[in-house]
Amino acid sequence: MKVTDVICHVLQSKVEQPFTSARGWLYTTRASCIVEITTDEGITGWGECYGPAVVNKAIIETQYRSRVIGRDPFDVEVVWEDLYNRIKDYGLTGMTIAALSGIDIALWDIIGRAVNKPIHKLIGGAHRTEITAYATGLYFIDMDRLVEEAVEEAQKYVAQGFTAIKMKIGLGDPRLDLKRVAAVREAIGPDVKLAVDANHCFTVPQAIRLGRAMEPLDLLWFEEPISPEDHDGYVEVTRALDMAVAGGENDFTRWGFRDVIARKAMDIVQPDVCAAGGISECRKIAAMASAHGVECVPHAWGSAIGLAATVQFLAALPDTPPAFRPMPPMLEFEQTPNPLRDHLAREPIVQTRGIVRVPDGPGLGIEVDRAVLAQYKVA
């Protein structure tokens, strides 16, 4: 089998109710670069790239496409190394790796379709057929009702059956952050897991001070408390707090995670399969984390394709730690409306009462609806 073409589709949808986080910008649209790889045997694979879609498209079309055409999809890691070495002089991290991730996922999808097996069967098998999803939400929408809207939204997720929620913090006033988190904890009770995500908006002293103030609230983890490149700072924050510290959605490849994991700068690493290097590279990151006693709970954001790739990867991750009552890794299930996730697949991956079934169809386990693809395609 040989690759005949690599096609990029830039999709975009409007966000009906704009929202923001500690990053400060207003989300008014969602966009994604979808990678379609065709073969001479009529098998097509799909992948997704994290980050600005038009940038990913440009990288793939100018740097990668010609080097993938004519290759055997089963040589997926050979292709990965070739592409990585192609851009090593100027693209060790960031968008070049996100673009590479989309190609890698599409090649794995082709392999699965060729042998009629889901990707999780190709990377070790399924440790679970169902995955617990946690609801990511509680962004900042109504600035006059920040506490009230967070409580109401969290209660809605509990009513839907979610047993874990992740909320945004980083309002510029740590006292307001603390008040908001405390109100949500009181509203959902002690049995629902609660994590917070600061989107790397604090300094080390600020993160430690707020983290200590939140410790009595029994939080699942404190995500991205400080800037992602400050690994020394992460060590300080992680050592200072009596709660798990998470991060890594803005790190790339095994080399980007190597020192973070070896130094245990975080308790939980969160590689994104659409950003960190695809399924091939995230397997290596997860194995490295396991060897150092660090949990791996992938970040997820994007369309139905990125969600499917994350679910396949999660299914093959072992429990950490293995025990009589293990703690399986959870799936991030974003709660802001997302038609690229909810409609792009003919049979989309959905959560029911906070549980997601692992697809057992070939490859990613989903089929792309080309009518929906055309509806949202802008480039």
Residues 9, 120, 299, 343: which is the catalytic one? Answer: 299
Rounded Cα distance between 166 and 238, Å, is 19
Nearby residues of 71 by Cβ (< 8 Å), 6 or more positions away: 2, 3, 78, 79
Strand 355-357 and strand 130-137: the pairing is: antiparallel
- Which residue type sits at 250? N
Looking from the CA of 250 toward its CB, the CA atoms found within 13 Å total 13
Rounded Cα distance between 320 and 11, Å, is 36
- The number of beta carbons lying within 10 Å of the beta carbon of residue 202 is 25
Residue 127 a catalytic site member? no
| C-beta separation of 64 from 135 below 8 A | no
Q: Where are the alpha helices (DSSP H) in the chain?
A: 53-59, 65-68, 76-86, 95-115, 119-122, 146-160, 174-188, 204-214, 231-240, 253-262, 278-291, 304-315, 339-342, 370-376
Catalytically active residues, by annotation: 299
